[in-house]
Amino acid sequence: MKKLFYNGEIITADKVSSVCEAILIEDERIVYTGSTEKAKTLAGGNAEETDLCGCAVLPGFIDCHIHMAVAEAKSDKEIYLTKSNGVNSISDLLERLNAAADERSKGEWIVGSAYSHEELTEKRHVTIDELDTAVPHNPVILVHKSGHLSVCNTEAFRLAEKSGLMLPSEHTARNEKGNPTGLIKETAHFMMLEKTPLLPDDDTLVNGIKSFSKKLLSQGITSVHDAGGYGSATYRTLQKADESGALGCRTYTMLWTLFGKDAQKKNAQVMLDSGFFSGFGSNMLKKGPLKIMVDGSAVGGTCATTKPILHSKEVFPTSFTQTELDEIFVEAHRAGFQLTAHAAGDKAIEMVLNSYEKAIKMYPRKDPRHRIEHCFLCTERLAQRIKQLGVIPIPNPGFLSLWGGVFEKYYGDRLDSVIPLKRFEDMGIITPFGSDAMVIDKYSPLFGIAAAMERCDLTSGAVIAKAQQISLMRAIKCYTIFGAYASFEEDIKGSLEAGKLADIVILSDSILDKSPDEIRKIKVNATYSGGRKV
């Protein structure tokens, strides 16, 4: 069946950034983009025609860093500690936890989600003593919205110790007397998570994938690079979702588990021993890069930097040593894997580049396209190394609109290196965008595009490094063809060109003449995947 869309603003995202007025689709492929007259001639009067009335058509958006497989698969043990749920202060939070304890038996876990001390009136973390007073008989863990730290009560620490868990001291905050404050970060945080009832069953995971896929499609997102989460449970349930028809978005999956350093090492070894490597699969579900988490969160202030963040005297350590990282990445590169690493701070980015350079020199391989997720604090020198090695940074521009003020507080002395989009562009570095949902709930690509253009904190109005703003067309490519490149799929999707998959998004208005604020208000009228309206 042919479909003809005409009288529109067809943004192809091809090499020369062509904009035309019509696109013709037959079955799952694009036949033609260009003039309405020629498109109608090629359709031969045998096409379903849609007058776009000037509205924009773009390639289906590709979100290159999103926790799609776990975002909506919530445990029934979780309670939500957000402003929208009435948690504005520490007293609100403690009241909510106390009520949750009344509904649970003694010793039953209480897991708080989307906790953020920055959003509380007091602008500080709740303490272990406050948690113990409110909930003395149930283990409590409050998971920070960044996903990289949490606050626990004494009962949670007691259960962890009883199970033989030895939390690393460098990731466990203590007061001047040497006693835990309740705050744990990075490796300690992820180790503690494994002891909680966080992991849902397979049916819950599959249903979550189905539900979130629908939401992503409604935002024009036809492909995702899933950033991982529950290790083998994630891989297994993605396949189940694909086989059952619940997987709505084309998925390129990163191979990673969140349950701590040892679990990541084990996961890497399992992947190496399997014999399969990146690229195995179909256009719907494909095995992506092996991922290691090297440091923490930019918004949480736990990323590994070469000098302390503002208002701090110490730098935060990386989760892996250089030797450990080399051992994993060199072998995985040799085995044919694309590699990626969560690396936000400049120290972590440098370590990852060291490992990639070592692997490439020891075992030369054509166009490995290794990646760095987030690549948040990237200096000009590091960007030059990224260009030289052909590495692909995956920035998250939406962070600037949501957390720009936090970045000013932590990195105000080096803002020009915070998500340096224009620097990457000027150096010819391909930068696909990711939203990092579930960490944030603003995962619309239009929101991310606007953020990349203006770099404005939407709460304070502060512009974060104006010199690093990029154009609309560049930002569109970051959410389309660059994303296809990051998964070695630029020949089949990512731009509106003849022969490619007909993954398209139709907007409610034109986009080329719009301001960032106007772009955020544009809606998605329809999304097509493989020529089929989804």
Q: Does 184 or 502 have the greater pLDDT score?
A: 502
Q: Does 145 or 510 have the greater pLDDT score?
A: 510
225: nearest Cα among 493, 529, 483: 483
Backbone angles phi, psi at 267, to 5 degrees: -60, -45
Amino acid at 389: L
Q: Does 491 or 172 have the greater pLDDT score?
A: 491
Q: In DSSP terms, which residues pair with 58 in a beta bridge?
A: 505
* CATH label, 78-193, candidates 2.60.40.10, 3.40.50.740, 3.10.310.70, 1.20.960.40: 3.10.310.70
Q: Do domains 1-60+494-534 and 62-69+200-493 have the same CATH topology?
A: no
Environment class of residue 95 by beta-carbon count within 10 Å: exposed (0-12), middle (13-18) or buried (19+)? middle
With 0.85 as the threshold, say if the pTM is over it.
yes
- Residue 367 predicted with pLDDT over 90: yes
- Residue 385 predicted with pLDDT over 70: yes
Per DSSP, 272 falls in state H
In this prediction, residue 418 carries a pLDDT of: 98
Sequence spans of domains, the chain:
1-60+494-534, 62-69+200-493, 78-193
- Residue 76 predicted with pLDDT over 70: no
The overall longest dimension of the chain from CA atoms, in Å, is: 81
Mean pLDDT of 364-378: 97
- Residue 2 predicted with pLDDT over 80: yes
Query: 209 pLDDT band (50/70/90 cuts)?
Result: very high
Mean pLDDT of 62-83: 84
Q: What is the pLDDT of residues 246-285, one digit of tens each?
A: 999 999 999 999 888 889 999 999 999 999 999 999 999 9
Q: Is 192 helix (H, G, I), strand (E, B) or coil?
A: helix
Q: What is the pLDDT of residues 422-449, one digit of tens each?
A: 999 999 999 999 999 988 889 999 999 9
Strand order of the sheet with strand 78-80? Answer: 78-80, 110-115, 140-144, 149-152, 180-185, 172-174
In this prediction, residue 56 carries a pLDDT of: 98
* CATH label, 62-69+200-493, candidates 3.40.50.2000, 3.20.20.140, 3.30.1490.20, 3.40.710.10: 3.20.20.140
Helices and strands counted in the chain (H then E): 17, 23
- Residue 77 predicted with pLDDT over 70: no
Distance (Å) of CA 51 to CA 40, 60, 532 = 12, 19, 18
Backbone angles phi, psi at 370, to 5 degrees: -65, 155
Q: Does 28 or 81 have the greater pLDDT score?
A: 28
Mean pLDDT of 210-232: 96
Domain 1-60+494-534, CATH homologous superfamily name and number: Urease, subunit C, domain 1 (2.30.40.10)
- Residue 75 predicted with pLDDT over 70: no
Spatial separation of the C-alpha atoms in residues 501 and 82, rounded to whole Å? 40
